[in-house]
Structure 1
Amino acid sequence: MVVLQRLISGLTAWALLSPVLATPSPESVPSDVYILLHNHLLGASATGDAALVLTNLQTHDEAVLTCAALGEGLWEPPTTKNASSEIALSYLAYADPSARDSDYWVQQAAAGSCRAITQDGVVYEADCSNKLAALCSNSAGLAVANATDTSSQWQTRVKTGNFTLTGYRDKHSFRFLGIRYAAQPERFTHSTLYSGPTNASALEFSPLCVQPDCNATTCSEDCLFLNIWTPYLPKDGASQSTKLKPVLFWIHGGGFTGGLGSDPTTDGGNMASRGDVVVVTFNYRVSTLGFLALGNNQTNGNYGLGDQVTALDWVRQNIAAFGGDAEKITIMGQSAGGASVRALVASPKAKGKFRSAVPMSGPLGSYPFQSYGDYYSVQESASLFGEAVLSDTNCTGTTDVLKCLRSYDPYELVALPDVASSLVVDGVYLTSPSLNVTAPSGPSIPLLTGFMHDDAASFVPWPSANSTLSSILTSYGIPPLPAILSAFPANSSSNTTLAVFNATSRLATDAAFRCLNLASVLTGARHGVFDPSSTFIYEVDRSYMPPSFNPNPLACDAPVTSAHPSGDPTAAYYKCHGGELLFVFGNLVFNQLPFRDDKDVVFSRYMLDRFASFIRTGDVEPAKAFLEARGFVDEEGEKNVNFTWAKLDLQNPSFARLEWPPASRPFDEKVQCESFGVGLDYYEDGGV
């Protein structure tokens, strides 16, 4: 009789599941689904076990069939315990207190028996008719750059609003790529939110937005798509608000002339998996197609910035179906992406749409970065860039200038000698010439921000043999004032050219990345624009240049030695612009790059864990309970850290010096900043 009841129960479950076996969804299973593993950031060789956690209570036979609907079997617990094979079941209670003391079906040891496991890892024989949650295997491979398996057996479907989207999973996360967030707008008009309906594949990245060095095969004007990585899919996002994950909304850099949301440097899989957040990246229009302003009361620029707001609106409307909490969005970006974060903080169109902000190496200051933080008027931008674009295209004086520009080949348009790439005060997306850090326009914003030790060394050309700091400043139209030359000495008895490069890159880093950013954070925190109880500043002193961006490799790469054939990160080298990204996103192995020493992976764990903690909680230091639940407390990168990254102290400001090991460091370069008129009180003293 028992066997017959189990058979009937199994057949009933099979009948319910069989219509959706080809592409299952959390709704059709039906259950919330987590991907659970201990992600060491070491790649496939040490990833260990991974499991799919089904929270819906069911009998053993129902669990077997539910796992089968996902193309898996019940998970088999390891016979011996070790760090690489254990999955942290205790995390399930941490993530969802309602699941405390839950047990889970696992693979049976012998026919006719049923086994379950507690959150403490104790396996026991259980009554097969009990209703328990379940652990399925996750046999999907580990995605790496340019190599991933999107076969039907790994696919999953998500419904949100009018969208039905088919993505897939790898060992670390569910991946939904190339999701349309806006229909292709007419050229030089703002994007609008795409609401479907659509039944679409989300298995591949979309084309890039048109930019230099691309063609119709790789780029398109129809490029407004986003990508999502998540460790958790709810069966009903609208009713699972207590389980939803904080969201990282990543804005790529590229000088507002290039960039992409599908850069493998910032792939979201490891951040989502280890960081326990949902990651969103996206494309936005760049160059003239994204920022042209003509001063004709019609073409007012900021189309790329408008795309960012449209993408943010899509995320707020739909991210719950992917396990994300729309009320816990952190906007984060590097370089032009960092400048975009600052612009969104200033933008009335973005108010209330995010919780916290992470601008990384956002240029703010001297040539050629003035407009990244001090915005041109529409007329200024038209005069500086728009008129030149019209001249280059022979559209000047035509009866219909816009018609002329819209008929121009887009790939040639972004390759012209002159392009538009500046944010402007258009009266809609930006209404003031800069972010006002002395007058909050809403709740104080938690802030994590900083820069590379040698950010500008990526851009400073190597000086000629006879160059001096004075001659270089003069060539840029900057008066070589005695105070500046004294603050940035270029003296050397052995290598005068290197000494000049040292002084130049240091001055450029201070002028473009350090001084105004520090002054801005201090003033903003004093006046409540930024939340002083949740403001953290850093300088990164260990770097690894991404393959996609390394304009000055002789300066920015760790020197190769016989003992360190991939470079010695403990030797002297410049920590350049973009050198933190592989660490923050945990993507050295994903990009198939070697560890240069035994501290690269340790440092990456530290960086990812701190940035993810800020995204989750507004504090860079992860809660001990979280680290314990995830199994990270005894991992190198946590147990060896004797440093606590403190929030900003307005009376004695300091920042975290991020290297291995990390340390605290007082604000330095004060004399250098003051030498060109940018002290820490610059904004308090009326600076703009």
Structure 2
Amino acid sequence: MTRNMPSINMENIHHSMKSSFLSCFNFFLISLLLTHPSTSANPVIETEQARFIGTVLDLPVDEQGLARSVHAYLGIPYAEPPVGDLRFRQPVAKIWSNAAGEPINATSLGNRCPQVYNPYFPVLGNYDEDCLNLDVYVPVPVPDKAAVMFWIHGGAFVVGTGSMEILPLSPLAVFGDVIVVAANYRLGALGFLSTGDDEVPGNLGLYDQRQALKWVQDNIQAFGGDPSRVTIFGTSAGGASVSCHVLSPLSSGLFSRAIMQSGVASSPFFTGTDRSHIAKRASNLGKLVGCVNDTSKRLVECLRNVHVEDLVNASAMIHETWVLSNGPSINIPWSPVNDGHFLSKDPTTMLKEGLVNNKVDLMAGQHSHEAMLPIMAFLKDPSEPYINATIFETILTISKTNQAIAQPIIRQAMNLVYIDDITKEQNYLNTFIQIHGDHVYVCPTDAFLRASENADSNMYLYHLTHHPSASIFNTPWSGACHADELVFIFGAHFHPESPFNLTEEEAKMSMQMMKFWSNFAKTGNPNKESEAEEEISSDLRWPKFTSSNPSYKNMSLLMNNGRALKAKECRFWNNYLPTFKSFFDDSAIHGPNKMNGKDEL
């Protein structure tokens, strides 16, 4: 039976943000009208598996002022329900028993994967384990052999859904002239439990995404799409997921291009490198739901019989405890692990060893104030954000960033990079924002692109610096915060009932970003829509990123270009810090005056 999942008390984490998000939630109810079905005849698509009845979503106008619409096929199952014995197993492709029978209704969104309610990103609709479904948005008319953009949602691997009412995907399909596909995947412990052994190796949520990509390869031609031009893109946990597919040989051939927004696999997202910690987390989950067993096999057998609501609440409790004990950290308990199958090693090692699918074109980027989201809970007065030296030190102490700068000499080096005058009382808000943002987003992205460089693929880097006047987080001072790019690339402004009413200049910026993203999906080059046309020659041209010429596009009203983004800071995080950590690790083995068995000079 489908049930709405209860929420846990998140007040300790979100107390300073809650009112802002709840006010934003009022807009969600309005936004249900954003993609309402029209009275036009329902379209029907016939695949080799089954026939699907879709719905028509009307959009007011396109950029030429012409009325446009989208044929949407919603809630299509791509895998069998992962329930009973299939819980904690890899997805099984959906088998249709009535392929030659009556068409299947695909006119409404399917179940959302079980999760607790979160005021950051409220997900409406029914929650049920039978949630492995996807949505297909086809522009009308559909271009010949249309490029396909496959969206992987974010949400820290614990919340979210493929199609979200507040940010409908139909404008991108229309203005980009691309087919957009969005899939649900299992979240929290249901999607990312690992026992640290072969019983449940982990990464089930990534396998779900892969199964949905296989569905696209098998079926998208029936919708007018080109299976050889599939671009995967996602933000935050979705961006990290995208880069996991870039690294994994199991996903090779399922897409040709990838866009990683605010997250890559080498970001400190992962807690899955220590198998003893992974196994302990699984054991702790079992204890919370009454599954105390001496082997992984017995533990998982017990967990398969636990009611889904109890399992999700226990999963959320472990996540909440982790966040409270680790402060403003993006490092999260339910996340991808190096299982030896999907990811043969931890992502940083895979990058160092060149284990990257070099035939994939890449676009990646992040925002100037990414870390404003986790820091908000530490602001006593959100209307006047201020962090003094004491609070700054406290945050660093409990933050995962502190593990990277634990040695005093490394901390002194970091102070030289980020703090102008450590003797002066000042507002350390932006200092922490930059430290955390560079450590978690900017510099891992830089390292990922450099490690992926290949003459046969294109790479493009962006840095969003413009804070939208209608932000997801509804704060006037947060800067270009985490997830703010979604307002632009999904064209939310172009619905008259949308809560995101941008200025005229911002609307042009949104249109340009949709064009950059869709052009990249079509050609691997954001500067041209087809292989036959020439690149943009104006100041809008987005230069390639290479190690020798690390150019980037500043996503702002001016759309100007830059070079060597955060070069000094990334030398600290990507070069200086690993060298010193290696030295201290070696010193712990050989003694403080020894290095590699030789006397220090």
Normalised by the size of structure 2, how large is the TM-score?
0.75
Task: Return the alpha-carbon distance in structure 2 between the equivalents of residues 202 and 269 of structure 1.
Answer: 16
1:180 positional shift: 0.8
In the alignment, which residue of structure 2 is the partner of 1:45? none
1:189 alignment partner AA: R
1:623 positional shift: 4.4
In the alignment, which residue of structure 1 is the partner of 2:8? none
CA 1:533–1:428: 2 relative to 1, 3 Å: closer
Task: Return the alpha-carbon distance in structure 1 between the equivalents of residues 124 and 267 of structure 2.
Answer: 36
1:678 positional shift: 4.1
What SS does the corresponding residue of 1:154 show, helix, strand or coil? coil
In the alignment, which residue of structure 2 is the partner of 1:396? 292
- Checking the alignment, whether the CA contact within 8 Å between 2:266 and 2:448 is kept in structure 1 is no
Q: 1:407-486, aligned counterparts within 5 Å?
A: 407-416=305-314, 417-419=317-319, 421-434=334-347, 435-436=350-351, 438-439=353-354, 442-460=357-375, 461-462=378-379, 465=388, 467=390, 469-476=392-399, 477=402, 478-479=405-406, 481-486=411-416
1:357 aligns with 2:258: yes
In the alignment, which residue of structure 1 is the partner of 2:551? 654
Which structure shows the higher strand fraction? Answer: 1
In the alignment, which residue of structure 2 is the partner of 1:507? 435
1:150 alignment partner AA: P
CA 1:403–1:321: 2 relative to 1, 3 Å: same
Task: Return the alpha-carbon distance in structure 2 between the equivalents of residues 265 and 594 of structure 1.
Answer: 9
1:272 positional shift: 1.2
- Checking the alignment, whether the CA contact within 8 Å between 2:372 and 2:482 is kept in structure 1 is yes
In the alignment, which residue of structure 2 is the partner of 1:600? 506
- Checking the alignment, whether the CA contact within 8 Å between 2:338 and 2:345 is kept in structure 1 is yes
Task: Return the alpha-carbon distance in structure 2 between the equivalents of residues 254 and 542 of structure 1.
Answer: 22
1:338 to 224, 230, 239: 239
In the alignment, which residue of structure 2 is the partner of 1:129? none
1:580 positional shift: 0.5
Task: Return the alpha-carbon distance in structure 1 between the equivalents of residues 532 and 126 of structure 2.
Answer: 41
CA 1:154–1:303: 2 relative to 1, 3 Å: same
1:268 positional shift: 2.2
Percent pairwise identity: 26
Task: Return the alpha-carbon distance in structure 1 between the equivalents of residues 565 and 248 of structure 2.
Answer: 31
What SS does the corresponding residue of 1:204 show, helix, strand or coil? coil
1:432 positional shift: 2.0
1:666 positional shift: 1.5
Q: 1:190-209, aligned counterparts within 5 Å?
A: 190-198=90-98, 199-209=103-113
Deviates more, 1:436-445 or 1:308-317: 436-445
Task: Return the alpha-carbon distance in structure 2 between the equivalents of residues 491 and 598 of structure 1.
Answer: 41
2:93 alignment partner AA: L
Q: Deviations over 1:304-356 (max 9, x none)?
A: 11100110011110011111111111111110000001111111221111101
CA 1:156–1:680: 2 relative to 1, 3 Å: farther
Deviates more, 1:409-418 or 1:322-331: 409-418
In the alignment, which residue of structure 2 is the partner of 1:210? 114
What SS does the corresponding residue of 1:220 show, helix, strand or coil? coil
1:146 alignment partner AA: L
2:130 alignment partner AA: D
CA 1:681–1:472: 2 relative to 1, 3 Å: closer
In the alignment, which residue of structure 1 is the partner of 2:207? 306
Bigger RCO (CA 8 Å, 6+ sep): 2
Q: 1:53-64, aligned counterparts within 5 Å?
A: none
1:503 alignment partner AA: T
1:627 positional shift: 9.4
1:671 to 568, 579, 589: 568
In the alignment, which residue of structure 2 is the partner of 1:611? 517
Task: Return the alpha-carbon distance in structure 1 between the equivalents of residues 432 and 207 of structure 2.
Answer: 36
Q: Deviations over 1:608-643 (max 9, x none)?
A: 000100000000112499999xxxx9xxxx99x633
Q: 1:35-50, aligned counterparts within 5 Å?
A: none
Q: Deviations over 1:41-92 (max 9, x none)?
A: xxxxxxxxxxxxxxxxxxxxxxxxxxxxxxxxxxxxxxxxxxxxxxxxxxxx
1:520 positional shift: 1.9
Normalised by the size of structure 1, how large is the TM-score?
0.66
Gaps of 5+ in 2: 1-29, 59-68, 320-332, 380-385, 584-601
CA 1:344–1:200: 2 relative to 1, 3 Å: same
1:486 positional shift: 2.0
CA 1:298–1:345: 2 relative to 1, 3 Å: same
In the alignment, which residue of structure 2 is the partner of 1:219? 127
1:581 aligns with 2:496: no
1:592 positional shift: 1.0
What SS does the corresponding residue of 2:181 show, helix, strand or coil? strand
1:583 alignment partner AA: F
- Checking the alignment, whether the CA contact within 8 Å between 2:38 and 2:56 is kept in structure 1 is no
1:519 alignment partner AA: A
1:154 positional shift: 3.2
1:543 to 467, 479, 492: 467
1:439 positional shift: 2.5
Task: Return the alpha-carbon distance in structure 2 between the equivalents of residues 442 and 174 of structure 1.
Answer: 33
What SS does the corresponding residue of 1:357 show, helix, strand or coil? strand
CA 1:323–1:266: 2 relative to 1, 3 Å: farther
Task: Return the alpha-carbon distance in structure 2 between the equivalents of residues 422 and 458 of structure 1.
Answer: 19
Task: Return the alpha-carbon distance in structure 2 between the equivalents of residues 658 and 532 of structure 1.
Answer: 26
CA 1:415–1:453: 2 relative to 1, 3 Å: same
1:489 alignment partner AA: I
In the alignment, which residue of structure 2 is the partner of 1:487? 417
1:669 alignment partner AA: K
1:308 alignment partner AA: Q
2:370 alignment partner AA: D
What SS does the corresponding residue of 2:43 show, helix, strand or coil? strand
Task: Return the alpha-carbon distance in structure 2 between the equivalents of residues 200 and 312 of structure 1.
Answer: 21
1:207 alignment partner AA: N
What SS does the corresponding residue of 1:610 show, helix, strand or coil? helix
1:541 positional shift: 1.1
1:322 aligns with 2:223: yes
- Checking the alignment, whether the CA contact within 8 Å between 1:586 and 1:604 is kept in structure 2 is yes
What SS does the corresponding residue of 2:548 show, helix, strand or coil? coil
Task: Return the alpha-carbon distance in structure 2 between the equivalents of residues 286 and 255 of structure 1.
Answer: 9
In the alignment, which residue of structure 2 is the partner of 1:280? 181
In the alignment, which residue of structure 2 is the partner of 1:139? none
1:155 aligns with 2:42: yes
In the alignment, which residue of structure 1 is the partner of 2:81? 184
| Number of residue-to-residue matches in the alignment | 496
Q: Deviations over 1:352-395 (max 9, x none)?
A: 1110110110155676x244xxx536554223x21221222221
Task: Return the alpha-carbon distance in structure 1 between the equivalents of residues 463 and 532 of structure 2.
Answer: 26
1:376 aligns with 2:376: no
Once superposed, what is the RMSD of the aligned Cα atoms?
Answer: 3.3
Task: Return the alpha-carbon distance in structure 1 between the equivalents of residues 141 and 77 of structure 2.
Answer: 20
CA 1:598–1:243: 2 relative to 1, 3 Å: closer
CA 1:465–1:514: 2 relative to 1, 3 Å: closer
- Checking the alignment, whether the CA contact within 8 Å between 2:469 and 2:503 is kept in structure 1 is no
Task: Return the alpha-carbon distance in structure 2 between the equivalents of residues 468 and 483 of structure 1.
Answer: 20
Q: Which has the larger Rg?
A: 1
What SS does the corresponding residue of 2:363 show, helix, strand or coil? strand
CA 1:166–1:144: 2 relative to 1, 3 Å: farther
CA 1:425–1:668: 2 relative to 1, 3 Å: closer
Task: Return the alpha-carbon distance in structure 2 between the equivalents of residues 437 and 352 of structure 1.
Answer: 22
What SS does the corresponding residue of 2:344 show, helix, strand or coil? coil
1:302 positional shift: 1.2
Q: Deviations over 1:71-117 (max 9, x none)?
A: xxxxxxxxxxxxxxxxxxxxxxxxxxxxxxxxxxxxxxxxxxxxxxx
Gaps of 5+ in 1: 1-142, 235-241, 560-572
- Checking the alignment, whether the CA contact within 8 Å between 2:417 and 2:568 is kept in structure 1 is yes
CA 1:654–1:406: 2 relative to 1, 3 Å: same
